[in-house]
A and B are shown apart, each in its own frame.
Chain A
Amino acid sequence: MKAFLPAELTKSLAGKIPKEEMHVIKWTPEMLITMVNQRLSVHSNGKVHDFSEISTSSTSTTVTTYDFVTAVNKAVGILSPREIVYVGEKVFFTHLNSEGPQGKITRDDLTKAIEEYAKDLQRWRNAAIDKNR
Chain B
Amino acid sequence: MLDFKERARQTTDWLSGLGLTGLPFGIGVTQHESDQSRFFLDTPLFEAIQQPSSSFVFATRGMGKSALKTQLMNAYRTSPSTFSIDYQPLILTEHPESLLDMKDHDQLILKTAAEELLVRLAFDPRRPLSEDIMSRISSFVGTFMYSPLDHKLLALLDSHSTLAVRFQDGAREVSADLPSADDLSILIKRLQSTKGKTDIENVGDLNSLLRACGYETTYLFLDEIDAVPSTVRNAHAMMQLIAPIV
A: which residues have CB within 8 A of B? 1-13, 16-18, 20-25, 27, 31, 34-35, 38-40, 42-45, 47-48, 53-54, 78, 80-89, 91-92, 96, 100-102, 104-105
Contacts and interface: CB of A to CB of B under 8 A. Distances in A.
A81 B54 contact: no
Q: Is the interface of B mostly helix, strand, loop or mixed?
A: mixed
A9 B27 contact: no
- Interface pairs A-B: 10 shortest CB-CB: A88-B25, A82-B62, A101-B14, A89-B26, A25-B59, A43-B24, A3-B222, A101-B10, A47-B19, A89-B25
Nearest to A92: B23
Nearest to A20: B53
Interface stretch (B183-191, B200-208, B231-239): B231-239
Nearest to B7: A101
21 contacts: A1-B54, A1-B219, A1-B245, A2-B222, A3-B57, A6-B233, A8-B234, A9-B235, A18-B54, A23-B49, A24-B57, A24-B59, A25-B45, A34-B41, A83-B62, A85-B25, A89-B27, A92-B25, A101-B13, A101-B14, A105-B18
Nearest to A49: B19
Contact of B55 (A23, A40, A101): A23
Contacts of B61: 6, 82
Contact of B11 (A4, A10, A48, A101): A101
Interface string B222-243: 1101100000011100110010
Q: Contact size class for B?
A: 35 or more
Interface stretch (B66-74, B111-119, B138-146): B66-74
Interface in B179-199: none
B62 to A, nearest CB: 3
A5 B56 contact: yes
A7 B58 contact: yes
Counting chain B CB atoms within 10 Å of each CB, which of A11, A12, A84, A87 scores highest?
A: A12
A31 B43 contact: yes
Contacts of B30: 85
Contact of B57 (A4, A38, A81): A4
Nearest to B24: A43
Contacts of A20: 53
Contact of B53 (A7, A21, A25, A27): A21
Given A1-B246, A48-B19, A82 B222 contact: no
Given A22-B56, A89-B29, A80 B63 contact: yes
